[in-house]
Amino acid sequence: MQHFLSLFDISPDDLQLILRTAGVVKKKLAAGDRPNILKNQVIALLFEKPSLRTRVSFEAGMAQLGGESLFLGSDVGWGKREAPSDFTNVLGQFVDAVVCRAKQHAKVELLASFDAMPVINGLTDLCHPCQALADILTIEEVFGSYVGKHLVFVGDGNNVAQSLALICAMLKMRFTLACPDGYEMDSDWMAKLRAAYPNAEIESVRDPAAAVKTADAIYTDVWTSMGQEAEMVARRQAFADFQLNKTLLAAAPSSARVLHCLPAVRGEEITDEVIDGDQSVIVRQAGNRMHAQKGLLVWLLGRDWIAKNVV
């Protein structure tokens, strides 16, 4: 059974097909065409963490594809009322796939281990593959192609950064992480990435101004993610010189574009004048969450349609 727990679960060819599918369904929507590709199919959204973009984009996307979605919060008792095997195998009797937004990556791995239905990672502490799909779709739209582009992530080597590093490796893009000492990407993750893609152009540097000199896209995220609140003061001190502001943006080419996965702490990792500026494509990027995930859903659940409609 095909799952999407991380980008390691798919090949570069699969990834490119998902992105092409996303592009096709996005163009159809813009033309007023909403084909019922997933008519009568149902996905469950099993969330431990709050969400705006992930929840709404999956719900709206599934509706536009002719299917339906069910939001499952704490009331369903996941991990509390019954054995994981009972919960998952019963859920698989009702739905065609589940999107899981969990605190620990091990929880989505456990869901997938029963092969009751395809499991999509809607975010974990390890990675955020759906976000990376939207990010690359945005870069492709803005620049005409993602091949050979340089993506610079300024900030914490977190779950978003790790997915971006991997997707860049898969698509032959260059990835640079500019972060303070101690905030690099997970060593096990990077070892697995380099084993799978030994020619990947990935680096970690300490100087954000030097990092963005050749950037096509400059990306940032919050300094303190959900669950890290106890580290907030220390993180603010560590990342003080890594703010994406007018000065840092001036060190990059004028053609560079600004990305942020949102929500943002305005005035902390990014300033108002940058997030709202002419080089920002952040709102477009957020909108592409839905289009990229529609491509993923069709790839998982409507492969016959792809064979007939996607070149």
**131 in active site:** yes
Taking a C-beta distance cutoff of 8 angstroms, is the pair 9, 294 a contact? no
Q: How many CA atoms lie within 13 A of 180 on its CB side?
A: 12
243 catalytically annotated:
no
Please list, in sequence order, all residues whose beta carbon lies within 8 angstroms of the beta carbon of residue 283, skipping any fewer than 6 positions away: none
Alpha carbon of 95 to those of 59, 116, 222, 286: distances in Å?
14, 9, 34, 26
Residue tagged active-site, from 96, 125, 261, 285:
261
What value, to the nearest 5°, has the Cα angle with vertex 57 and ends 172 and 86?
A: 95
Decide if 304 is catalytic.
no
Nearest-angstrom CA–CA distance, 142 and 145: 8
Q: Quick check: is 181 catalytic?
A: no
Cβ 175 vs Cβ 168: under 8 Å: yes
- Contact in structure between 289 and 101 (CB atoms under 8 Å): no
The one catalytic residue in 131, 162, 243, 285 is 131
Residue type, 173: M
Query: Which token pair is 184?
Result: 């690099």
- Active-site residue, selected from the candidate residues 53, 128, 235, 260: 128
Annotated catalytic residue 156: no
Give 11: exposed, middle or buried? Use CB within 10 Å, 0-12, 13-18, 19+.
exposed
Q: Enter the tokens of residue 73.
A: 């919060």
Judge whether 309 and 24 are in contact, CB under 8 Å.
Answer: yes
The whole-angstrom separation of Cα 100 and Cα 153 is 25
Catalytic residue among 53, 101, 235, 257: 101
Distance CA 176, CA 122 (A): 24
Q: Point out the catalytic residue in the list 96, 135, 156, 221.
A: 221
289 is a catalytic site residue: yes
Catalytic hit among 243, 289, 291, 293 = 289
DSSP three-state, residue 46: strand
Residues taking part in catalysis: 101, 128, 131, 221, 261, 289
